[in-house]
Amino acid sequence: MSVLSAYRLVRRSSASRKVAVLAPLGALVATIVLNLCLYLAMGKDAGAVFHAMLVEPLVSWSSFSEVLLKMTPLLLIAQGLAIGFRANVVNIGAEGQFILGAIFAASIPVWFPQATGGWIWPLMLLLGGIGGALWAVVPAFWRVRLNASEILVTLMMSLIATQLLAYLLVGPWKDPMGFNFPQSVMFQMDATLPLLIPGTRVNVALVLALVVTLAAWVYMQRSFQGYQLVVGGLAPQASAYAGFAESRAVWLSLLIGGFAAGLAGAAEVAGPLGQLQRSVASGYGYAAIIVAYLGGLNPIGILFSSLLIAILYIGGDNAMVSAELPVAAVRVFQGSLLVCYLAAITLVRYRLVRVKSEVRA
């Protein structure tokens, strides 16, 4: 404390662009150092972990393609969430919206396993988006009409979604030939996404995520509605004065966020998984919150942060195999990265000024 209290934060007249770029990098370096210390304390070979986590995912095309695959849902979800976060609508329930998207998409191959045709996977994606958006209707209604915090309601909806998924997989949607595993039937060929790059598992959802990123960027930079959402977040009174309804911002944010998360969920079951299973809910919805903040709630920033978090996921898997690092270490890394980032971006808005008059030992 004494070190800090010798300094004072003084607000900059305008946010520093240079620091805005340097802060995330500084935070990343600090996080890497902190976590390597943790691995050392756990008795791991820190150098080997570092190599497995942050170098290996990038050196071979096959592992980098897995990074791209992992990046897709994170990018999709985070772009949707950031729209809400910018408007002060804190949707932390993307995990549940993602699960509902997966469930809605799976309904077609589960109910119509014989169906064929090129229309199936696009319809599944659409259904997934709708499922995610529907799951976000409750928190939107609760916030707009009942004045309830969307933070708590979206989270509760996620916990319910996990139970709903479990119910379907041990009950009506369980594969009768699946040796009692909690999973659905394998989807037929036409109910899986076309591959984008031959020889890898990267599918068309990556293109979708990039299109959504572009749309989010245009939406934020150019469109009037994006402007409304930004104003609604920064100054509710000013936006009310300008005639922008706060409730519209809430509805739009949650429906778009839910749709994007649902789309990601659909792409996950119709993509790498090829069936509905418990592990579809593996925390993308929570990791995407980190991705969104880490990207500075900016669509282009989110492109980079989703890539980084995806590298960490694949690298974490590598480190689990090669250095016996528990998977939970990835979550610790993600959490500490956000902590370091939040600390670092203070310097974008404030300058550290040394207090000279005080003499401290």
The verdict on 183 binding other proteins (CB under 8 A) reads no
Nearest-approach distance from CB 59 to other proteins, in angstroms? 26
For 243-254, b/e burial (b = at least 16 CB within 10 A) is ebebeebbbbbb
Q: Please tell me whether residue 343 binds other proteins under the rule CB under 8 A.
A: yes
Minimum CB distance to other proteins, residue 171 (Å): 8
Give Cβ neighbours of residue 311 (< 8 Å, ≥ 6 apart).
53, 54, 57, 58, 67
Task: Decide if residue 330 touches other proteins (CB under 8 A).
Answer: yes
Interface with other proteins includes 46 (CB under 8 A)?
A: no
Q: How many CA atoms lie within 13 A of 84 on its CB side?
A: 32
Least distance between other proteins and beta carbon 204 (Å): 30
In the 8-state DSSP scheme, what is residue 1? -
Three-state helix/strand/coil letters over 4-30: HHCEEEEECCCCCHHHHHHHHHHHHHH
Nearer residue to other proteins within complex by CB, 188 or 336: 336
Regarding 138 and contact with other proteins (CB under 8 A), the answer is: yes
DSSP 3-state helix, strand, coil percentages of the chain (rounded to 5)? 70, 5, 25
Q: Which of 123, 160, 186, 210 binds other proteins (CB under 8 A)?
A: 160
Residue of 99, 110, 290, 311 that binds other proteins (CB under 8 A): 290
**Cβ 202 to other proteins, closest distance in Å?**
27
**DSSP state, residue 357:** S
**Among 136, 286, 307, 320, interactor with other proteins by CB under 8 A:** 286
Residue 83 engages other proteins in binding (rule: CB under 8 A): no
List the one residue out of 19, 17, 29 whose CA is nearest residue 352: 19
The angle subtended at Cα 223 by Cα 94 and Cα 264, nearest 5°, is: 25
Helix then strand count (H, E) for the chain reads 16, 2
Site size for other proteins (CB under 8 A):
48
Question: What distances in angstroms separate CA 87 from CA 82, 234, 236, one per listed residue?
Answer: 8, 7, 9
Of 294 and 311, the one with the shorter C-beta distance to other proteins is 294
For position 346 contacting other proteins by CB under 8 A, the verdict is: yes
Binder of other proteins out of 2, 13, 17, 145 (CB under 8 A) = 145
Q: Does 153 bind other proteins (CB under 8 A)?
A: yes
Q: Does 293 bind other proteins (CB under 8 A)?
A: yes
**Burial class of residue 114 (count of CB atoms within 10 Å of its CB; 0-12, 13-18, 19+):** exposed
Shortest distance in whole angstroms from residue 232 CB to other proteins: 16
Asked if residue 234 binds other proteins (CB under 8 A), the reply is no
Sites of contact with other proteins (CB under 8 A): 4, 9, 11, 90, 92, 138, 142, 145-149, 151-153, 155-157, 159-160, 163-164, 166-167, 171, 286, 289-290, 293, 326-336, 338-339, 342-343, 345-346, 349-350
